[in-house]
Structure 1
Amino acid sequence: MIAVPLHAYQQRWMRDPARFKLGMFARQTGKTFTTTLEIVDDCFAAAVEGRRARWVILSRGERQAAEAMNEGVKRHAAAFNMAFDAVDFDWKGEAGSYKALEVTLPGGSKITALPANPDTARGFSANVFLDEFAFHKDSGAIWKALFPVISAGWKLRVTSTPNGKGNKFYELATGKDERWSRHIVDIYQAVRDGLPRDIDALREGIGDDDAWAQEFELKWLDEASAWLSYDLITSCEDPTAGDPEGYQGGVCFVGRDIGRRNDLHVIWVWEQIGDVLWERERIEQKRATFAEMDEAFDGVMERYRVARACIDQTGMGEKVVEDAQRRYGSRIEGVLFTGPSKLIMATAGKERFEDRTVRIREGDPALRADLHKLRRVASATGAPRFVAERDDDHADRTWAAFLGIHAAGGPTVEYGYRAAPRSALLGHNSRMRSDDYEADDLPDPLSRQPLGARLRGGL
């Protein structure tokens, strides 16, 4: 029984009784909504037949698990006029405790939603829904833990948009075996089947060809030459990163990539917590005046305890760096974008991602595509160089992030200060002076060898 109106592609998914079912759906097409409807419908049928159904929803994180439960399961149960009891609790596994949400339906059927990891994957004997599986961290380990559990006749539902080729979802979606029933619904098919979406507006809104190809056209982007794979990017995403309200008052490092007409002007703020850099704020401007760009940068310097800021000094960045150094002194380092300097910054950035010592905003398609589009290629002389294919902004977000990571490299000194008045910051002859600080015997907090000196000394 289906108590909710569905588009044709959703009906095909709902009515497919296959035990192993995979759906690769474009973004904003209702894959979680439709699959949670199937789960509730199965529980309804179980109640009518006098039996119990058991389902577990494994999502990429606590927030997504809560959305699947609140926006999916509970809404569908209400549409079926099914009373339910809802609880949340700390589910304890072998490796730790996890926030779980659970609904009990008439007849004793239960649906539990919680974040996916190998621990939760092996913790239940139930039908399983892997929601946005391509974005699960350690998807291969989750699969190894899960499959023996569902081998005793349980159903398995797997849905996602693509996320590169380095994950278990890619392997399942491109498999040739007939045990899986595979549903592929790109944005064009969804609109043909009745989904009310303006394709041109969506494409313009996402503003990135790679992101559009992957998120809406379901294309598998090449990972071979990507400097940062999608799997690596996903492993460093966190739902609490990228929110200025999460700033804990720690020392921050800033990267600033200069662009005006065709490129983005990007300011990236990292906060250091322990050995991890957390994205706190990212400002993006296009076709802004230099005054507007400087105003945005001054705001960052006022709001955060910035130990060091590295700014792209190439071309139009010369004056930007000079003005920033006049206002903020030795906390500002200008970086000329040359082949060797980009290699140093890109290498340091990749090492941070590989070591999982950065946390970036979760579920940001433009950022993910920007980080992924950077590729290392060989020049005619054999020297390595970095390019960003099929874009209008040359991976500006990525370079701002790498500039900030470079700023955080090497030893720094904890300091305290009071922010200078904004009028002083914007004055013609303003410059941060030693008496603007409230620390005893302050050494230079940025005392490390600048990138220029490192290059002169050799790679």
Structure 2
Amino acid sequence: MSESVLYPYQRRYLNDTSRFKSGMWSRQTGKTFTTTLEAVLDCLDAETQGKSRRWTILSVSQARALDAMDNGVKLHLRAFKAGFEALAVPFAANELAFEVRLPKGSRIRCVAANPDTARGMTENLILDEFAHHKDNRAIWKALFPVISRPDLKLRVISTPGGVGDKFHEIMTDPESVFSRHIVTIYDAVADGLPRDVEELRRGMSDPEAWAQEFECQFVDAASAWLPYELVGSCEDEAAGIPAKYSGGHCFVGMDFAARGDLTVIAVLEMVGDVLWLRELVEMRRTSFAEQLSALDRIMKEYRVSRAALDQTGLGEMPVEEAKRRHGQYRVEGVLFSAVRKLDMATALKERMEDRSLRIPPRPELRSDLHSVKREASPTGAPRLIAERTTESGRSHADRFWALALAVSAAVEPSPVYAYETVSRRTWRGSEDNERW
């Protein structure tokens, strides 16, 4: 592979052979491309010497692990016209490791990161998007002894997350042993990366997200109602898949759209004492008829004990219609007063803190949940505000409120039905029967 296809910031990173190396790079600058290239080059170099090297890439999810393999490792090996065997092998419980094996025994594998998979390895490691790994401190504690051998290398690369997580510590600790590489979007463009910075900034239309994702600034999570680390602790790849619904009682939250916002329906299934997000329906610029039709499907396909619907403003009419269709005891209209919003947001946060909520690891959902901020009102009471987020498709925290509504529906007591058998004679003679 010719160095002409690499930008100077990528070459600087690759030429740094430090044992411990970290990179905090802007979005769209080739983080995974570059780190997988380093692993491939190391393996090919060993193969030419009749030796072997082993690398494991720990990704934020199995989907990201597959992407790193297909659009990183395999891409580079094919560019070098290197022979390899590609495999998907069982790895830990319900997980796959995506591997390539070279003729002399070198191996690169990509797996989803968690503390259990990090244990027991003895090889070079790459932590891809480490700031966004679920419980990255626990992963760090499990993996660091793995690379105790002086010939093994550790690479940690990510866009920044919140202040206070392990990646923040690696990048800011003055006593850190890491050789650190920081590449903002401005650095990358100055080195020749073809990007229109102003167009990207205008398109994002979110100063905080821009600072974090493109300027590599750590965002202080103190004002965020749900810090990234808390959100990540509740993520599970088994969530968000309707086919995994097990037939249990469900709770629904629905946030109706205003103007260009999303209409979102969140479906939570209670499994033991844990609420699993089974389905997240998102609709933009749809009529109330279409939105109610989507709710009808949800009420039919799931055993919905209770549904909480946003009745504020435009929600008045569709909520009344939903009550007519599905019953006033199953459907509750919620007016978004400051007090009620705080109650719902608190219930959602407590569920997350108790680890009794499971959500899928989706960037747009993560960004939406993090977008709600806490600030003091003139009276000193906490007040929640939501900023629009580009990751979430210009959502105004619609996913946050749909999920909060669903959690609040699970908090409220579900209607209890009792049946009593009566004789035909008694039934026929009842006053209630005559009214029907």
TM-score category (smaller protein) = 0.7 to 0.9
SS state of the match for residue 213, structure 1? Answer: helix
**Equivalent in the alignment of 1:47:** 47
**Equivalent in the alignment of 1:387:** 385
**Equivalent in the alignment of 2:121:** 124
| Residue identity in the other structure for 2:236 | D
Is the Cα–Cα contact under 8 Å of residues 101 and 113 in structure 1 kept in the other structure?
yes
5 Å-filtered alignment, 1:202-281, equals 202=200, 208-261=206-259, 263-281=261-279
2:360 maps to 1:358 = no
**Equivalent in the alignment of 2:375:** 377
**Equivalent in the alignment of 1:343:** 342
Percentage identity across aligned positions? Answer: 55
| Residue identity in the other structure for 2:377 | S
Higher mean C-alpha deviation, range 190-199 or range 349-358: 190-199
Distance 2:290 2:298 in 1: 13
Displacement of 1:98: 5.0
5 Å-filtered alignment, 1:133-152, equals 133-152=130-149
Displacement of 1:131: 1.2
5 Å-filtered alignment, 1:2-21, equals 5-21=5-21
Displacement of 1:333: 0.4
Taking only aligned residues, the RMSD between alpha carbons, in angstroms, comes to 3.0
Is the Cα–Cα contact under 8 Å of residues 276 and 359 in structure 1 kept in the other structure?
yes
- Match for residue 402 of structure 2 among 384, 400, 405: 400
CA offsets 1:284-325 (integer angstroms, 9 cap, x no match): 445544344334433433443322111122233332322221
CA offsets 1:313-370 (integer angstroms, 9 cap, x no match): 22333323222212221211011222322222111101111122222231323x2222
**Equivalent in the alignment of 1:423:** none
**Equivalent in the alignment of 2:431:** none
SS state of the match for residue 22, structure 2? Answer: strand
Distance 1:291 1:412 in 2: 27
**Equivalent in the alignment of 2:60:** 60
| Residue identity in the other structure for 1:405 | V
**Equivalent in the alignment of 1:457:** none
- Cα 1:118–1:266 change in 2 (3 A) is closer
CA offsets 1:13-50 (integer angstroms, 9 cap, x no match): 22222221111122333211211111110111112233
Distance 2:70 2:419 in 1: 53
Distance 1:146 1:221 in 2: 26
2:318 maps to 1:316 = no
Distance 1:238 1:288 in 2: 30
Displacement of 1:228: 0.7
2:71 maps to 1:71 = yes
Distance 1:354 1:114 in 2: 26
Distance 1:230 1:167 in 2: 9
Is the Cα–Cα contact under 8 Å of residues 59 and 128 in structure 2 kept in the other structure?
yes
SS state of the match for residue 101, structure 1? Answer: strand
Distance 1:241 1:205 in 2: 30
Higher mean C-alpha deviation, range 204-213 or range 348-357: 204-213
SS state of the match for residue 152, structure 1? Answer: coil
SS state of the match for residue 254, structure 1? Answer: strand
- Cα 1:286–1:199 change in 2 (3 A) is farther
- Cα 1:91–1:414 change in 2 (3 A) is farther
**Equivalent in the alignment of 1:452:** none
Is the Cα–Cα contact under 8 Å of residues 374 and 389 in structure 1 kept in the other structure?
yes
CA offsets 1:187-217 (integer angstroms, 9 cap, x no match): 3433443434455665566565443432233
- Cα 1:139–1:405 change in 2 (3 A) is same
Distance 2:189 2:295 in 1: 42
**Equivalent in the alignment of 1:448:** none
Distance 2:204 2:419 in 1: 49
5 Å-filtered alignment, 1:147-158, equals 147-153=144-150, 154-158=152-156
Is the Cα–Cα contact under 8 Å of residues 57 and 130 in structure 1 kept in the other structure?
yes
| Residue identity in the other structure for 1:335 | V
- Cα 1:212–1:299 change in 2 (3 A) is farther
- Cα 1:197–1:133 change in 2 (3 A) is same
Distance 1:104 1:111 in 2: 7
Distance 1:272 1:215 in 2: 35
- Cα 1:316–1:222 change in 2 (3 A) is same
Distance 1:260 1:241 in 2: 27
Displacement of 1:3: 7.8
Is the Cα–Cα contact under 8 Å of residues 388 and 395 in structure 2 kept in the other structure?
no
| Residue identity in the other structure for 1:337 | F
SS state of the match for residue 111, structure 1? Answer: strand
Distance 1:27 1:243 in 2: 27
Higher mean C-alpha deviation, range 223-232 or range 250-259: 250-259
Q: After TM superposition, what 4+ stretches of structure 1 lie above 6 angstroms from structure 2? A: 439-442
Distance 1:131 1:324 in 2: 45
Distance 1:208 1:303 in 2: 37
| Residue identity in the other structure for 1:320 | P
Higher mean C-alpha deviation, range 331-340 or range 312-321: 312-321
The TM-score, its normalising length taken from structure 2, stands at 0.84
**Unaligned 5+ runs, structure 1:** 416-438, 443-459
Distance 1:109 1:3 in 2: 23
CA offsets 1:101-159 (integer angstroms, 9 cap, x no match): 33322332222332323333331222111111112222112222322331322111111
Displacement of 1:440: 7.4
- Cα 1:363–1:85 change in 2 (3 A) is same
Is the Cα–Cα contact under 8 Å of residues 2 and 41 in structure 1 kept in the other structure?
no
